[in-house]
Structure formats: structure tokens, C-alpha cells
């Protein structure tokens, strides 16, 4: 009889995308799939779009300091654990990816005696997964430097499960012919020259205002042989378009506020200027793409840690957000385009990337069935 696997995670695409990649790997091996999330995260759109039914559990944030919400936490957590327990009936293994939904699911699984596999995407683990690791049978990590271990079970480094579109691109780019084919097709869709060294600038779906401003302030120094694909973030494109037009670069500096097929950006890229979320770092290293990381300056510093291995390999460079200036773009970013140094960085990136994380994680999950 085929096992049933429950996968819990949500809030951001960084949690949901590896969840869905793992679900696909498990489904391909005949497993039944249950996905648990909240009604407020991106999972409400991404999970149904991927063909899976989403079971929602109440969102229960864990206060990091004393607040009035702390008084109602026990009752709210009890209700969420109870609902998660109902959703886990008949489930053989739980896989958690973090986010608000994971904590009550981990607790419900523990109460029901269901094995738990925790996957931590970031170099600095989140609170939910730190809780889950206390009773997990397996803790799977994206980065070997992540300070999270299974207290009583196994800890393994598997990498980050990649979206199918990215996995397919990895395979296509593994040959010179496939690399040329994917680059040409992406260039045609994006209105770019497939032969020109290409810089991709992206701050993620929400964009990064500082990256936009620093890049466009340096636009006039873009080398004549190079081109830029600039993904500004939702509703942040107008000032960038105006700056590019003023610099007379509209034909070589393509501006989009959002790109649904992000794999097209990676297929055309020779160098990427971006934040360093775990998903971005994993995708760029898997594809062998050099990066110039500008970590998000807020949060708990996980973006800086996420990029450290890629930078240490020689495949990427990193600069703090407050030091990413137009002068840095002119002196350190643009000169890489078309250079021998960029070729060396690409080789270092390719040596670091993990492309089999979804299958490796599926192996660990299925090993828990009946364990």
C-alpha cells in the first residue's frame, strides 16, 4: 500500500517552492500527498496551482517577546494542534519546511507518533524548525554550516529542492547545445541579444529599491558590449524605465516589474546582482551562475549567511547593502561582464551546486515509513 506523506510549510515562496518540489518527487514514487498551510501565505495560490489540495491550519505566531498575545497563545496553539491532528489521520510521515503552520503540525505528529522530517532552507534556522528538530527523526539541511541538528535522530545535508522548471533548466544547460538552445529561447521571449554578455538584476518579487537606485545611477557606465535584464519588483518599474531612457539605454537595458518565468532570466544570465535568499542561492549555484550578492539588511542576518559558501567557493561576491553604491556597480560589477574572471566564477559556482535535493529528501522521507 502506498504511503501518505503530509508536507507542511508556507508563508513565503521560499518555504513553499521546496515543499512543492519534494511533493512532486514523492508523488512520482507513488506516495499520496497532503499539504498543510495557512490561509494567509503564498501557499494559498501556489499549492492549488501545482495541483495539490491545501488543508489550512490556523496561523499561530510565536511571540519573541512578552506581548498581550502571549496570554492567548496556549489556547490558540491547542486549537491549531487539534486541527492539525485531524488532518494527519492516516498519514505515515510528516515533512516540515518551516513557517507558522509547521509548529502545530510538528506537535500533532509527535502526539500521534508519526515520524517527522524537518527541512531547513536557511543558514540560520527559523524558530519553527528549531522546535521541530527536538523530536524529529531526520533534520535535512540546505547548507552544511546551518547550526541545527536532530536531537535524537539523523541530520543530513541535502541541499534545497529545486522547482521543476529550474531542475529542467539544469539538465538542459548540462550540454553546450542545450545551453545555447535555452539561452536563445529566453532571449527571444525577453527581447534580448543572445550573444551579448547579460547582467540580470533582481530584488525578488517585491523588488529592492536600493538595488534599483544604485544600478540605474550607474547606467551610463554600462559597457558597450553588454546588456541588462532588470526585474524591479511589482510597481517599481517606472523610475527605472525613466532612468534607463535618460541614459539612452532602452535597447540594451530591458526593464520588467515581474517575470513569471524566472527560469528565462537564469537561462540568459551571465552574472546576477541580487539578494541572497536561500532559494536564489541554491538555484544560482545549481545552474553554475556567478552572483554579486547584496544581502537584505533587515531580519536576523540569514541572507548574509546563506551566501557565504557560494562566496567562499569563488563563484560569487558579496557586499553589504549600505556599501552597494553606483561606484561599486561601475568598478566591480560591470567589469566582470565578458571577462575571463567571470568564466572562472561560473566554474566555481557549478562545482558547488546541488541538483538532486528533492530526490535526496524524498529518500530520507520514505525511509521513515514503517520505521
Q: 108 near 79, Cβ under 8 Å?
A: no
Task: Kindly list the domain boundaries of the chain, sorted by start residue.
Answer: 4-162+355-366, 164-352
Structure confidence at residue 63 as a pLDDT band (50, 70, 90): low
In whole angstroms, how large is the CA radius of gyration of the chain? 21
Confidence category of residue 34, pLDDT binned at 50, 70, 90? very high
- The pLDDT confidence band at residue 208, using thresholds 50, 70 and 90, is confident
336: left (phi over 0), alpha (psi -120 to 50) or beta: alpha
Distance in angstroms (rounded) separating the CA atoms of residues 342 and 226: 13
CA atoms within 13 A on the CB side of 113: 2
Q: What is the pLDDT of residues 91-116, one digit of tens each?
A: 999 999 998 899 999 999 999 999 99
- Report pLDDT digits (tens) over 128-155: 999 999 999 999 999 988 999 999 999 9
pLDDT greater at residue 66 or residue 257: 257
> If 0-12 CB within 10 Å is exposed, 13-18 middle and 19+ buried, where does residue 355 land?
middle
SS percent in the chain: helix, strand, coil, step 5: 45, 15, 40
Angstrom distance (rounded) from CA 219 to CA 253: 9
Instruction: Tell me if 105 sits within 8 A of 96, measured CB to CB.
Output: yes
Q: Say yes or no: do domains 4-162+355-366 and 164-352 share a fold.
A: yes
pLDDT digits (tens, 9 = 90+) for 223-278: 999 999 999 998 899 999 999 999 999 999 999 998 989 999 999 999 999 999 99
Residue 370 has pLDDT above 90, yes or no: no
Q: Taking residues 27-46, report their average pLDDT.
A: 93
Task: For residue range 287-323, list pLDDT tens digits in order.
Answer: 999 999 999 988 778 899 999 999 999 999 999 999 9
In angstroms, the CA 369 to CA 275 distance is: 38
What confidence tens digit (pLDDT) does each residue in 152-202 have? 999 999 999 998 899 999 999 989 999 999 999 999 999 999 999 999 999
User: Which top CATH class is 164-352?
Assistant: alpha beta
**CA–CA distance, 302 with 300 (Å, rounded to integer):** 6
CA–CA dist 130, 23 (Å, integer): 22
CATH H-level, domain 4-162+355-366: superfamily: Glycogen Phosphorylase B; (3.40.50.2000)
CA distances from 102 to 2, 167, 245, 309 (A): 24, 26, 47, 27
Average pLDDT score over the chain: 93
Contact 256, 276 (CB under 8 A): no
Amino acid at each position: 500500500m502506498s504511503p501518505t506523506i503530509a508536507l507542511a510549510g508556507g508563508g513565503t515562496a521560499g518555504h513553499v517552492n521546496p515543499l512543492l518540489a519534494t511533493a512532486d518527487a514523492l508523488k512520482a514514487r507513488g506516495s499520496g500527498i497532503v499539504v498543510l498551510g495557512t490561509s494567509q501565505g503564498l501557499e494559498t495560490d501556489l499549492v492549488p496551482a501545482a495541483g495539490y489540495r491545501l488543508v489550512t491550519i490556523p496561523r499561530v505566531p510565536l511571540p519573541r517577546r512578552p506581548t498581550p498575545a502571549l496570554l492567548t497563545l496556549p489556547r490558540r496553539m491547542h486549537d491549531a494542534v487539534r486541527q492539525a491532528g485531524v488532518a494527519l489521520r492516516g498519514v505515515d510521515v510528516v515533512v516540515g519546511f518551516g513557517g507558522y503552520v509547521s509548529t502545530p503540525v510538528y506537535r500533532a505528529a509527535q502526539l500521534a507518533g508519526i515520524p517527522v522530517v524537518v527541512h531547513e532552507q536557511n543558514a540560520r534556522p527559523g524558530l519553527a524548525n528549531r522546535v521541530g528538530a527536538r523530536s524529529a527523526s531526520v533534520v535535512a539541511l540546505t547548507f552544511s554550516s546551518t547550526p541545527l541538528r536532530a536531537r535524537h535522530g539523523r541530520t543530513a545535508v541535502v541541499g534545497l529542492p529545486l522547482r521543476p522548471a529550474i531542475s529542467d533548466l539544469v539538465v538542459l544547460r548540462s550540454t553546450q547545445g542545450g545551453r545555447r538552445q535555452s539561452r536563445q529561447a529566453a532571449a527571444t521571449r525577453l527581447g534580448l541579444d543572445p550573444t551579448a554578455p547579460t547582467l540580470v538584476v533582481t530584488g525578488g518579487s517585491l523588488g529592492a529599491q536600493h538595488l534599483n537606485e544604485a544600478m540605474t545611477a550607474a547606467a551610463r557606465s554600462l559597457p558597450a558590449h553588454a546588456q541588462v535584464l532588470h526585474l524591479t519588483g511589482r510597481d517599481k518599474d517606472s523610475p527605472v524605465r525613466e532612468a534607463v531612457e535618460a541614459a539612452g539605454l532602452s535597447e540594451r537595458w530591458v526593464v520588467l516589474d515581474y517575470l513569471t518565468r524566472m527560469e528565462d532570466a537564469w537561462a540568459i544570465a551571465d552574472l546576477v546582482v541580487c539578494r541572497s535568499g536561500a532559494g536564489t542561492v541554491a538555484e544560482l549555484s545549481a545552474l553554475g551562475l556567478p552572483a554579486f550578492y547584496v544581502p537584505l539588511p533587515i531580519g536576523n542576518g540569514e541572507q548574509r549567511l546563506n551566501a557565504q559558501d557560494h562566496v567562499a567557493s569563488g563563484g560569487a561576491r558579496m557586499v553589504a547593502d549600505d556599501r552597494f553604491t553606483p561606484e561599486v556597480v561601475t568598478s566591480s560589477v560591470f567589469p566582470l561582464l565578458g571577462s575571463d574572471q567571470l568564466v572562472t566564477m561560473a566554474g566555481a559556482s557549478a562545482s558547488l551546486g546541488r541538483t538532486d535535493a528533492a530526490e535526496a529528501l524524498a529518500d530520507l522521507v520514505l525511509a521513515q515509513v514503517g520505521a
